[in-house]
Chains A and B, each alone.
Chain A
Amino acid sequence: MELRKYITKRIIQIIIIFFVILTVLFLLFRLAPGDPVSMMVDPDMTQEDAEMLIVQLGLEQPLGMQYLIYLKNFFTGHFGFSFHYGDPVVDIIWDRLPNTVLLFTTSIILSALVGVFLGKIASWHKGKKVDSIMTIGALVTHTVFLPWLALILIWIFAYKFGWFPINGMISEEVWLDPEAGFISRALDVMYHMVLPLSTLFLIHFGAYLLIMRSSMLETLKEDYILTARAKGLEEKVIRDHHAAPNAALPVVTSVGLSLAFSINGGALTETVFTWPGIGRELVSSVSQNDYPLAQACFLMIAGVVLISNLVVDVLYAYLDPRIRY
């Protein structure tokens, strides 16, 4: 099948799947236990107050009507107003999205580069001490409980040594200073990124290392590696230029999907480091039954994951000419 036909078919599939997700999300939130109004009232409020609040939130409408409004909001790109902020959901998402993308994309790219590099080395030294140390190290960092690791890093590097800030994305000292320019502010953000980035890096690089190592070991058994050796090429050239590029394909898939999931951020990482991103907003909106905001966050994640899958498939064909659709 030609690539163009394949892409067209996949896009149609994506649209259908997305519509199903759109509907399921709407139903899930309405069927899930919990009530947005119960979380907003206090004993000073009367029954009438609560009912007025329901009207203001648009929850007095029959479910069918709510669904139509939801669809209308989606197709107009509006997504409604957050129950708690009172702001348009789109504004909230656009406000938080760059923060999440900055942190998570950086961490994934960094982890992938280091993971691929170390995985290559580990596989090359299979069975030796270097391989054991790297494999065990990767397994440990990848399986460690993220909030625990984050708190340990905060405790050591922010509290004990005082090298980095405990949380947040910016310092008010810098941002309230009228003389602070763009560079100072950019450096301030980088400074705040160090600990969350390190946490995410430590958690993620192990996975890439293990994938790369495993893929590399398979690749090294291929005939063309034997041919390269027979040609008398240097071992380093065989490793870096013949084996590694082919072995890196599974990592590409993994990175592609990770980038997609990075949109929702790591709810845990963002919460522990008070990083003002989508992940933290997602947790908060779900726990407070802020339907419009939570729905929009999930829809965005669904959309990006679906598109990323398509991109990864197409990228595969580009990277590996043996793959044809």
Chain B
Amino acid sequence: MRKGNAMSVMNPSRKRPCSRWVVILACAAMLITGSLFTVSPASASNLLKMGLLQEPKTLNVWRASDRWSRKVLGLMYQPLYVRDPETLKLIPWLAAGPPLFDEKTLSYTVKIRPAKWSDGTELTSEDVAFTGRFINKFKVPRYRSKWRFIKKIETPDKQTVIFFLKEPKAIFVSRSLTTPIVQKKEWTALIEAARKTKKPLKKLLNEKIKRPVSSGPFVLKEWRQGAYLYLQKNEHFFGTGKKIQGRLLGPYIDGIIFKIFGTSDASILALKKGSIDMFWWGIQPGYIEDLRANPDIALFQNEKSALYYMGFNVRKAPFNDANLRRAIATLVDEDFIINRILQGYGIRMYSIVPPGNAFWYCPDVPRYGEGLDREGRIKKAFGILSDAGYSWDAPPVDGSGKVVKGEGIKLPDGSPMEKFTILTPPADYDPHRAMCGMMMQEWLRMVGMPAYSKPMAFGALLQQVKLRHEFDAFILGYGNLSLDPDYLRNFFISTNDKRRGWNMSGYNNPHFDKIANRSASEMDREKRRKLIWEMQKIIIGDVPYIPLYDPKLIEAVRKGRFTGWVQMLGGVGNIWTFCQLKPR
């Protein structure tokens, strides 16, 4: 240890502190570096620059669970069928024609287009069969449910695949045949290595795919984590120069650079400044007017396949009473929510299926409280509840028919309704849903219901609702529902009323179950539609969920550099856009 006295540390002969020089040098360095670089607009090259809110987590197609990875992977790995942007019907993509169904053998035959992988090798029926077998063999989560009913897959020739089903499954075409196809050669090598481990699936899911071999319009050129991801035009893309659904495909751009932005504020500034050509995320209402006023920015408005709703715990009182749920549905003013809370950027939902999914959407469902003002809604709800045996200390409608503040609502058995909570995500996660909860609390209190809106951390909310089933009511949403309406069955079939099950409300209706199961195995599209419509009518009649709104998707792009954005349900960031976008 150094020894000495206090004076030794203040020796006047010491050198002068160099802090001022460090400061001067640091400032000079900043100025020099600042002057050396100019912040270029989205470059004069033929590259599309897109802003992402978060970085993709992985390029392993089987692992990807985040939307950012899936957005990027969707441009590389391709399925047999994709959705037409206008009709939303499934149309052949890697497939050469529609799947041919043989009722006798319960099989589908699919012909493959001549196509190549990005490494130049041929994409054959063997790759398609391998993908299906791989999913079933290793029980790949997220895909297994789409393939488990496949008995076997045959490949009579390089261009033909035959899928034999164990049982009729309506989702086969819409779910199984829209699975991304992977290269047999690439994954066979990985499987061999994985088999040597104790947990082959874990090994395969954790595999870091540095150079994905894919068949889409773009291939990975470089991924500098934390900064950018560069996809280059795939010279072997099967669609180049071909007309599919009357659209002549490119890609006509050299590539796409995805830049990562941590916040919407930074992304929108970058878009306005020209550092990116598109921000691949919905624009929140607060930014729209500013962007609309910018002559360099074009805004696109599209519908989403989304559902935001209020759910009840129908396993217990008081929400096990459908009359109470119908009365609440009458009190909820969806128009107010859309016009005031969403500032007009939303679509009213009458059913569980969004109206944009036109084929499956049933318009003929009960419409609670439509066209009524607040007083009218209260009177209607009062009528429903009175008829069902509810009573009040002070009814919300007095003897003269005037609407007053209701108090002390009692259940049909005479017991007072206990305080209940409406769980919502917190305002910093989703201000719209938090605000909806507060409005509902007020609307329900007007008729004397002791409702309390309770914002809760999103993870905790899911745990309460999905795992523990300890809740009264909640407001949640699905931002990206599949276009196949099989989720209706998932959400409300009684067998899914279990821990982590999708039937979060605990809805149990044997009649519904029967129709739902029939819909899952009905192979005739028209007949299935009737069943799906019937299911929607039952659900909206029993109201375990009150559909609230489907937010509109507003996207912003730079006007000057590219043309050919294709609008469809779910926005302009779709495969058709990337195959047709041309430099101006």
Contact = CB atoms under 8 A, between A and B. Distances in A.
A86 B227 contact: no
A44 B175 contact: yes
Interface string B260-296: 1111011001101101000000000000000000000
A207 B230 CA distance: 42
A48 B496 CA distance: 11
A159 B262 contact: no
Given A44-B482, A48-B144, A166-B275, A233 B12 contact: yes
Contact of B269 (A42, A159, A241, A246): A159
- The A interface, classified by DSSP as helix, strand, loop or mixed, is helix
B340 interface: no
Interface stretch (B330-338, B437-445, B459-467, B554-562): B459-467
A284 to B, nearest CB: 7
A137 interface: no
B439 to A, nearest CB: 25
A34 B457 contact: yes
Contacts of A173: 40, 43
B19 A172 contact: no
Given A155-B269, A166-B273, A274-B262, A43 B481 contact: yes
Interface stretch (A256-264, A300-308, A313-321): A313-321
A167 B266 CA distance: 7
A189 to B, nearest CB: 9
A299 interface: no
Contacts of B273: 158-159, 162, 166
A224 interface: yes
Interface string A67-82: 0000000000000010
Given A241-B12, A321-B6, A170 B224 contact: yes
Contacts of B501: 47
Given A113-B23, A241-B10, A167 B270 contact: yes
B367 interface: no
Interface residues of A, number: 89
Nearest to A45: B142
A44 B228 CA distance: 30
Interface string A13-36: 000000000000000000011110
Given A35-B463, A85-B58, A163-B34, A47 B496 contact: yes
A190 interface: yes
A273 interface: yes
A168 B266 CA distance: 10
Contacts of A175: 224, 227-228
A187 interface: yes
Given A241-B14, A276-B225, A224 B462 contact: no
Contact-residue bracket for chain B: 35 or more
B29 A190 contact: yes
B528 interface: no
A85 B60 CA distance: 9
A34 B262 contact: no
A38 interface: yes
A46 interface: yes
B208 A321 contact: no
A172 B463 contact: no
Contacts of A133: none
Contacts of B60: 86
Interface stretch (B186-194, B199-207, B314-322, B539-547): B199-207
Contacts of A276: 55, 225-227
B43 A86 contact: no
A116 B460 CA distance: 45
B379 interface: no
Task: Name the residue among B7, B269, B487, B496 with the largest chain A CB count within 10 angstroms.
Answer: B269
A274 B265 CA distance: 12
Contacts of B459: 32-35, 38-39, 287, 289
Task: Name the residue among B141, B261, B498 with the largest chain A CB count within 10 angstroms.
Answer: B141
A79 B432 CA distance: 38
Contacts of A224: 6-7, 10
Contacts of A274: 226, 260-262, 266
Interface stretch (A50-58, A122-130, A138-146): A50-58
B240 interface: no
A159 B290 CA distance: 15
A237 to B, nearest CB: 6
Contacts of A117: 17, 19-20, 23
Interface in B215-265: 222, 224-228, 230, 257, 259-263, 265
Given A35-B467, A163-B39, A86 B207 contact: yes
A110 interface: yes
A40 B65 contact: yes
A47 B275 CA distance: 43
A45 B462 CA distance: 16
Contact of A242 (B10, B146, B262, B502): B10
Contacts of A40: 65
B30 interface: yes
A116 B23 CA distance: 12
B500 interface: yes
Interface string A89-118: 000000110010000000000100110110
A258 to B, nearest CB: 16
Contacts of A159: 269, 272-273
A154 B266 contact: yes
A198 B206 CA distance: 39
A168 B267 CA distance: 11
Nearest to B37: A191
A164 to B, nearest CB: 6
Contact of B57 (A33, A50, A84, A169): A84
Contact of B265 (A116, A151, A270, A280): A151
A56 B205 contact: yes
B343 interface: no
Contact of A245 (B2, B9, B19, B480): B9
A321 B8 contact: yes
Contacts of A246: 6, 9-10
B5 A321 contact: yes
Task: Name the residue among A87, A155, A166, A197 with the largest chain B CB count within 10 angstroms.
Answer: A166
Given A33-B463, A164-B34, A173-B43, A43 B487 contact: yes
Nearest to B275: A166
B11 interface: yes
A47 B270 contact: no
A169 B227 CA distance: 7
11 contacts: A33-B459, A35-B462, A46-B490, A49-B142, A56-B141, A110-B26, A155-B269, A172-B230, A272-B263, A274-B262, A324-B1
Interface of A: 3, 32-35, 37-40, 42-53, 56, 81, 84-87, 95-96, 99, 110, 113-114, 116-117, 151, 154-155, 158-159, 162-176, 187-188, 190-191, 194, 197-198, 224, 233, 237, 240-246, 270-274, 276, 280, 284, 287, 289, 317-322, 324
Interface of B: 1-12, 14, 16-17, 19-20, 22-23, 26, 29-30, 33-34, 36-40, 43, 54-55, 57-58, 60, 63, 65-66, 139, 141-142, 144-146, 175, 199, 201-202, 205-208, 222, 224-228, 230, 257, 259-263, 265-266, 269-270, 272-273, 275, 457-460, 462-464, 466-467, 478, 480-482, 487, 490-491, 496, 498, 500-502
Given A37-B500, A287-B459, A320-B6, 9 more contacts: A46-B490, A86-B205, A110-B23, A191-B36, A198-B30, A224-B7, A224-B10, A272-B262, A318-B2
